[in-house]
Structure 1
């Protein structure tokens, strides 16, 4: 989904202060929309190489949306802590706009570690918040110390090759946030002498990338050899999970925030106007005094008006006088609920390897250096990239996402580009915004249409 990095240490405090001062006003929220059928949207598993994890973890998945006979496949990679359902709504809009295209949204192998069984029970809240689910013990997860970018790209190539159907279909590779970084690095990667870009017909980077794409948000990575060594030492010492999301303030485990957000989406989708079942369980710092509906509770957790940073929020709306939700922005809360609810796939990856964070930060240089080589990163073909490039940026990084894409294009053999900006969007709006208001999907459709 997005880059939830430890630099945002004030995250919880920002949200708490905003919630405490939130008022109630406006009109009642519109009626819940009807979800599209998912019968023709298979979630397909692909075996991948051994990674040392538990049984069933040596596979990745792709949520496949659109005509399976399409001649072009857009493979999309989610960002940090993101998962395949990030792209379901965007994909539906895209395949409706561009005939001849199918979208595959990728779930990394880490997603196999999440326990989704609670959503098949009568009381998912009790299953998860009362600790009945299976939690991955970091002390028993040493195998994740090696789940870095080389393995991620090897796994991704399995999906790309399957999508290409032995070269009979074109493959455009893209992603959101750190998923965009992953896609760009794939294009520059050396796969046993073959440049990754030779597998592709195009690159699509949504609010992310390399070469300083995130710098405008104050997130320039420290990739000095000493800093990298310190981070690797911490991983060797047992800190195998990236714990950034704990800053949200709803739990201390790697998966705590993801569970809360999915539960919020689940109940908002199931019964949007009913009294929130989660509100009494919120930590004191985040719990408003006024009674909210399930939809409003989800809005509290995702809307930018409550003080959440740009890169974890959307423009949705506000509380009504009755504690329900009123849509006033570009992203209806019902679409967020549809995506967040899942149950499988969902928008949340529970366990993000700390090693993958190290590697993706290091890959920002987009070149073969002493540090990247020490990490086993094979970024050897950046200047040879010769496929069309699309880049879209929101307000999240103050213009650096497109500036970085321009650097990539000027230093390579990219034949043509499409660079688009919509500063009315926050970082997550491109994933869930209403069809008619989603300039990311609209501009991506125009780009993809040129390649079909």
Structure 2
């Protein structure tokens, strides 16, 4: 359905729209819609695209439950992590809503999209055709009369210099107030939470004073929530819990240099963002930037529509410095191969599923924040992947992950396929091993379906990734003690004002510093993204634990 909250005449922009989302998810009984609400930015932000005056989220509910959110038993509202969009929550949302429905409870799950995601152009992905997507983004082909204008640069998005911590938590407050106007109902039914950085944003939201008068509390963030949930994160107001042993500003999730250092203080940092001296969104020359986030979506589309077909992406995508350097980082056996550039990923025969696995599986992807446990390469000989960190060296779980890395070793050889998570340990599994004889993986270490990961990356109208993550959001979090920010966090008791459930991926970014004081549910074998993508039925036949425990927590 499409609805307007203000009764706008035909042709006028509706204050609120809600549109059905068609899905190939195997989880039954779930209705998904994409909701868009017009909540304009203040004039002080400066010039920006008109579409950025709207906030959007994916709404998941039981098909047998009430159609009105206010009538649901509970509503889980989730903030995404760094470089992450609403689509990343697809599996955990469906699994959780379904688990509740099986017990007669009707809950909703709202996956929020940050305002900056309005800058993305998903037109090519939304065609459902890999060839059309590549044609749209790289060959000048039009889709429905529209042409791709190119990936944005920092100097094109000056208004992002004003989109930081205050804007982010206020957007959540304004959206909740618009969708659920009764504060008493919000306090009774809304559960606030998030993944990764989203847990910290939830903590800040809980302490924030939204009316400028600390003596009143009905407007405070904690008064909008009945409880909190943390997905491989903690509900906190700073990055300390995510930092672990790495001690980096960004919590060890990203390579050094991705986030500008903030030692010069709030005034200088803000001046740098406004002038353009500092980048307005997070990006590196390779691996982490808008084009590569989009390539992940294209890879997901290819793996969703033709998982077992030989991939042509290696040849279809252009050979520019960004894509080539990223491919070498992701698919080099060792430093010598990376430096020489031979062999490249283009020299191997891989299925579409294997390409996606190379980019995002925990036994291949070099960076922890994009790792999932979706299986392993198959169909040919595998060897140790000793770049960027050797398998003989114990790196930082927060940055490189915990698992041994593997890579195909036969360029121009057999077609390397992908063994999905639920086929690891099967009778036909050859059990690929590291040089020391240790299996690269076991069934106990695999929890997510690569087909569902591909679907979440490419099927959702709101993206899995976040192409233009505002730098100011992270620099503000590193400066929360500055009076200009701290004065808004007037309710520190809000962090503990409501019950909390904390989930920690046993092999994720918190693996070497599990926050025992939070009494977390530790999930063995899970990686950082697995808390979002885990299959509803796990190896061995057990139900996925987050869905079962989170739905029970929400409804008790």
Pairing 1:277–2:383 present: no
Alpha-carbon distance, 1:36 to partner: 5.4
Alpha-carbon distance, 1:65 to partner: 0.3
Whole-Å Cα distance in 2 between the matches of residues 173 and 388 of structure 1?
11
Q: Structure 1 217/46 Cα, relative in aligned 2: closer, same or farther at 3 Å?
A: farther
Partner SS, residue 435 of structure 1: coil
Q: Which has the higher helix share?
A: 1
Q: Structure 1 350/424 Cα, relative in aligned 2: closer, same or farther at 3 Å?
A: same
Pairing 1:186–2:225 present: no
Q: Structure 1 391/241 Cα, relative in aligned 2: closer, same or farther at 3 Å?
A: same
Partner SS, residue 264 of structure 1: helix
Pairing 1:213–2:241 present: yes
Q: Decide which of 314, 323, 330 is 2:416's aligned counterpart.
A: 323
Please, which runs of 5 or more residues in structure 2 have no aligned partner? 1-23, 141-146, 214-218, 251-260, 318-322, 332-343, 380-414, 425-445, 539-543
Confirm or deny: 8 A CA contact 2:154 2:281 kept in the other structure: no
Q: Decide which of 82, 94, 105 is 1:80's aligned counterpart.
A: 82
Pairing 1:136–2:142 present: no
Aligned pairs, number: 395
Q: Decide which of 533, 537, 549 is 1:436's aligned counterpart.
A: 537
Whole-Å Cα distance in 1 between the matches of residues 36 and 29 of structure 2?
17
Q: Structure 1 109/162 Cα, relative in aligned 2: closer, same or farther at 3 Å?
A: same
Confirm or deny: 8 A CA contact 1:214 1:401 kept in the other structure: no
After TM superposition, the structure 1 stretch with the greater mean CA deviation from structure 2, 170-179 or 95-104, is 95-104
Pairing 1:334–2:427 present: no
**Which residue of structure 2 aligns with residue 378 of structure 1?**
488
Q: Deviations over 1:399-440 (max 9, x none)?
A: 54635x73xxxxxxxxxxx62112421111111111123433
Pairing 1:43–2:34 present: yes
Q: Deviations over 1:283-316 (max 9, x none)?
A: 2624433211111110010011114222220111
Q: Structure 1 165/400 Cα, relative in aligned 2: closer, same or farther at 3 Å?
A: farther
Pairing 1:124–2:163 present: no
Q: Structure 1 448/325 Cα, relative in aligned 2: closer, same or farther at 3 Å?
A: same
Moved over 6 A (4+): none
**Which residue of structure 1 aligns with residue 95 of structure 2?**
93
Structure 2 length as normaliser, TM-score?
A: 0.66
Q: Matches of residues 162-311 of structure 1 in structure 2 within 5 Å?
A: 162-166=178-182, 167-168=184-185, 170-192=189-211, 193=213, 194-209=219-234, 210=236, 211=238, 212-216=240-244, 218-221=246-249, 226=264, 228=266, 231-238=269-276, 239-244=278-283, 246-248=285-287, 254-280=289-315, 281=317, 283=324, 285=328, 286=331, 287-288=344-345, 289-311=347-369
Whole-Å Cα distance in 2 between the matches of residues 91 and 196 of structure 1?
23
Confirm or deny: 8 A CA contact 1:391 1:402 kept in the other structure: no
After TM superposition, the structure 1 stretch with the greater mean CA deviation from structure 2, 319-328 or 233-242, is 233-242
**Which residue of structure 2 aligns with residue 361 of structure 1?**
478
Whole-Å Cα distance in 2 between the matches of residues 393 and 64 of structure 1?
25
Whole-Å Cα distance in 2 between the matches of residues 94 and 245 of structure 1?
35
**Higher alpha-carbon Rg:** 2
Confirm or deny: 8 A CA contact 1:402 1:420 kept in the other structure: no
Whole-Å Cα distance in 2 between the matches of residues 38 and 228 of structure 1?
48
Please, which runs of 5 or more residues in structure 1 have no aligned partner? 1-32, 364-368, 407-417
Whole-Å Cα distance in 1 between the matches of residues 249 and 520 of structure 2?
24
Confirm or deny: 8 A CA contact 2:88 2:532 kept in the other structure: yes
Structure 1 length as normaliser, TM-score?
A: 0.80
Whole-Å Cα distance in 2 between the matches of residues 377 and 315 of structure 1?
42
Of structures 1 and 2, the one scoring higher in RCO (CA 8 A, sep 6+) is 1
Q: Structure 1 426/168 Cα, relative in aligned 2: closer, same or farther at 3 Å?
A: same
